[in-house]
């Protein structure tokens, strides 16, 4: 695991979609339209990440109108869909956002995510990821894809970087203590 100084250097969080931002299921209507279910806590975590000064990227092997809509709602800085080879997509994002790979964290859940996870300074995965993915990750979440794993990683990163209390201060104003 990284030391505290290294966590403060993470500027970019790169997320896969199916199996990370969602539970991996793909819902198709009879007309072929795709629906996805996103976790509201993951969305809140993404907003906290942005509030703490971080940037967000989504890199997915599939294309989806639902992902485009959700990314816009959450002010995601870079979106790459239908990226069958995710590493070139990551390299484009790093150049676009002017962030070195060692200052990026990635959350993936399958073999296609390994190149991105290896390239970034920190890599996390879900508990149901294949053994090969879990073995190379720096952190395996307790929560699954679509069930809060993104929020879990964001809280870990912000806490280790000493930024979580700044997020909490909005909800616990000075002079008012937390209930125990």
Digit-coded pLDDT (tens) for 45-75 = 999 999 999 999 999 999 989 999 999 999 9
3-state secondary structure of 129: coil
Neighbour tally for 29: CB within 10 Å: 8
Contact (Cβ atoms closer than 8 angstroms) between residue 119 and residue 134: no
Which CATH number fits the domain that encloses residue 144? 3.40.50.1000
* Angle, alpha carbons 3-120-132 (nearest 5°): 95
Assign 28 to helix, strand or coil.
strand
Residue 116 has pLDDT above 90, yes or no: yes
For 144, the domain range is 4-169
176 in a domain, yes or no? no
Give the Cα separation of 106 and 14 in Å (integer).
Answer: 5
Residues 12-39: pLDDT tens digits? 999 999 999 999 999 999 998 888 999 9
Residue 160 lies in a domain: yes
pTM: 0.92
| Residue 42 token pair | 């993951």
């Amino acid at each position: 695991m990284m030391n505290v100084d290294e966590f403060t250097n993470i500027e970019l969080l790169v997320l896969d979609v199916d199996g990370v931002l969602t539970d991996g299921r793909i819902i198709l209507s009879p007309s072929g339209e795709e629906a996805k279910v996103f976790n509201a806590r993951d969305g809140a975590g993404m907003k906290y990440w942005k509030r703490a000064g971080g940037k967000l990227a989504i890199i997915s092997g599939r294309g989806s109108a639902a992902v485009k809509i959700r990314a816009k709602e959450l002010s995601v800085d870079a979106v790459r869909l239908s990226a069958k080879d995710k590493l070139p997509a990551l390299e484009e994002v790093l150049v676009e956002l002017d962030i070195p790979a060692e200052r990026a964290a990635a959350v993936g859940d399958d073999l296609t995510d390994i190149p991105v996870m290896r390239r970034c300074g920190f890599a996390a995965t879900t508990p149901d990821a294949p053994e090969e993915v879990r073995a190379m990750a720096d952190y395996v979440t307790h929560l699954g894809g679509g069930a809060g794993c993104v929020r879990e990683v964001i809280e870990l990163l912000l806490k280790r970087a000493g930024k979580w209390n700044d997020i909490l201060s909005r909800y616990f104003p000075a002079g008012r203590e937390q209930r125990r």
